[in-house]
Amino acid sequence: MINDTIAAIATPAGNSGIGIIRVSGDDAKAVVDRIFVNSKKEHILSSMESHTISYGFLLNGEEIIDEVMVSYFKGPKSFTAEDTVEINCHGGSFVLKKALDLVLGNGARLAEPGEFTKRAFLHGRIDLSKAEAVMDIISSDSEISLKNSISQLQGCVYQKIRDLRDKILHEIAYIESALDDPEHISFDDHKEEFVKIIDEVSKETVKLLDSADNGRIIKNGIRTVIAGKPNAGKSSLLNYICGNDRAIVTTIAGTTRDIIEEKVRLDDISLCLIDTAGIRKTEDVVESIGVDKARQYIEDADLILYVVDSSIALDENDHEIIGMLKNRNSIILYNKSDLDPVVSIGEIQDLIGDTHIIKTSALKQEGLDEFKKTVRDMFISGKIDPSNEVIITNLRHKEALKEAVLSFENVNNSVKNGLPEDFYTVDLMNAYSSLGGIIGEEVDDDLVNKIFSEFCMGK
């Protein structure tokens, strides 16, 4: 039953100034009316206007549970598109739990995680891509990621997918009509135009798919590996960049044996920073596992930060790392620049070629501003702009786009091989339905339940 009345605490667990209990469904008003009174002990909720808020008390029999503000939103003009009542309680976890129990004891049931947003989707108030954007807004941890989620909530993905689907549907309809009424409608006359349109739609889909790489960066941060031989200052730099003492810093070479991951926000973007075991040839079994892992992380990284200890000569370990930097996004951190240099910047440039080299001193805390600017220039400035383009950040959307691209390729092959047009419609229908999955038009209940179960409680 969709409209049974559900309730949950919609604000984070833990003590805070206010905590909100959201109640949604046909009986939302009736449920809260039983337990909410104004200062004259009158039950006033049934006569409250939509989109207004009233002051009063929550009562359990004669006992006052809390002093509250109650707001009422008549469906469909509410988050869920159902009648919704929100109770603003004091934000203590104990009082909130008592208030929620009271609501549940008076006719509501506890909402499942994501159920409020799921209802908004099932009632057609938002499409699936917008519902997923709600989840992304909640988990956004950088300015650019938030901006992108907001743009998705406003429907940029939805609109783009709808446009593509409209064009596909138009072509399917044309083919079907020509097959039904060959005397009046000729597909052959339209074929050239058909190929052009499918080519355009396919290119736009590929462009969306390509945006998913930037999307991952926006959502999860730039996957950044810190590499360098032991003692170059990797852990010290990680701590300097993170602004805390996350990694253990010691003077014994080879102590960072495992991988340390840290999410760091650099102004409006995030880095997912990975400190690896120093690369060096080693007999120590545990350390060598760390070194192998480090090599793997370097392969998968968006950005490699190669830390050079400028106070000692480059050795074979440095040469091995330098070998891994070919054709990769990398920044050289010329560290310990507070000491007398043994390696010169020119020497590094001779080995690596044109690259970003930044003088740093983890000890003196120097170089961070230039580092931030360089990362920004490499990844964001002029490259990612969520306010101007549609960027895919959701893996499910990415998979659906991949399927659509495959279907377009099949159409192309059918055209090239001179197959009859009913072959085209099968693949076009597949593309239409894959794209529909993104906005929730061709998804089954299991998938809907799975997507919404990933939400937090109260959303």
How many H helices and E strands in the chain? 15, 13
> Binding ligand GDP by CB under 6 A: which of 62, 94, 180, 251?
251
Binding of ligand GDP by 342 (CB under 6 A): no
Binding of ligand GDP by 290 (CB under 6 A): no
Identify which range of 107-115, 163-171, 295-303, 336-344 contacts ligand GDP by CB under 6 A: 336-344
> Binding ligand GDP by CB under 6 A: which of 129, 231, 317, 433?
231
Dist. CA 341–CA 313, nearest whole Å: 9
Residues 6+ apart with CB under 8 A from 431: 168, 205, 403, 404, 407, 408, 411
Sign of CA dihedral 307, 311, 312, 314: positive
Tell which positions 70-109 bind ligand GDP, by CB under 6 A. Answer: none
Output 230 or 386, the one with its CB closest to ligand GDP: 230
Binding of ligand GDP by 278 (CB under 6 A): yes
Identify which range of 1-9, 244-252, 296-304, 450-458 contacts ligand GDP by CB under 6 A: 244-252
Beta-bridge partner residues of 224: 273, 303
Does the N-terminal peptide bond of residue 76 adopt cis geometry, omega within 30 degrees of 0? yes
Hunting for tokens 């659509």 — which residue is that?
404
Q: Closest approach of Cβ 247 to ligand GDP, in Å? A: 7
Identify which range of 156-164, 224-232, 411-419, 421-429 contacts ligand GDP by CB under 6 A: 224-232
Binding of ligand GDP by 130 (CB under 6 A): no
1-36 per-residue burial string, b: 16 or more CB within 10 A, e: under 16:
eebebbbbbbbeeeeeeebbbbbbbebbbbbbbbbb
Binding of ligand GDP by 362 (CB under 6 A): yes
- Please, what is the end-to-end C-alpha distance for the chain in angstroms? 19
Output 219 or 336, the one with its CB closest to ligand GDP: 336
Binding of ligand GDP by 370 (CB under 6 A): no
> Binding ligand GDP by CB under 6 A: which of 107, 233, 436, 458?
233
> Binding ligand GDP by CB under 6 A: which of 88, 236, 276, 407?
236
> Which amino acid, 147?
K
Dist. CA 157–CA 151, nearest whole Å: 8
Identify which range of 217-225, 248-256, 381-389, 393-401 contacts ligand GDP by CB under 6 A: 248-256
Dist. CA 115–CA 129, nearest whole Å: 16
Identify which range of 77-85, 173-181, 360-368, 445-453 contacts ligand GDP by CB under 6 A: 360-368
Output 11 or 311, the one with its CB closest to ligand GDP: 311
Check: CB of residue 386 under 8 Å from CB of residue 218: yes
Output 369 or 446, the one with its CB closest to ligand GDP: 369
Sign of CA dihedral 147, 152, 153, 154: positive
Binding of ligand GDP by 232 (CB under 6 A): yes
Name the maximum alpha-carbon separation found in the chain.
87
Output 171 or 309, the one with its CB closest to ligand GDP: 309
Binding of ligand GDP by 340 (CB under 6 A): no
Binding of ligand GDP by 361 (CB under 6 A): yes
The half-sphere exposure of 173 on its side-chain side, counting CA atoms within 13 A, is 6
Output 233 or 436, the one with its CB closest to ligand GDP: 233
Q: Closest approach of Cβ 313 to ligand GDP, in Å? A: 16
Output 228 or 290, the one with its CB closest to ligand GDP: 228
39-64 per-residue burial string, b: 16 or more CB within 10 A, e: under 16:
eeeeeebeebeeeeebebbbbeeeee
- Give the single-character DSSP code of 47: G
Residues 6+ apart with CB under 8 A from 272: 220, 221, 222, 223, 224, 261, 262, 263
Binding of ligand GDP by 249 (CB under 6 A): yes
Q: Closest approach of Cβ 237 to ligand GDP, in Å? A: 7
Q: How many residues sit close enough to ligand GDP to count as binding (CB under 6 A)?
A: 20
Dist. CA 139–CA 346, nearest whole Å: 44
Identify which range of 147-155, 227-235, 261-269, 435-443 contacts ligand GDP by CB under 6 A: 227-235
**Nearest residue relative to ligand GDP (C-beta):** 233
* Binding interface with ligand GDP (CB under 6 A): 228, 230-236, 249-251, 256, 278, 335-336, 338-339, 361-363
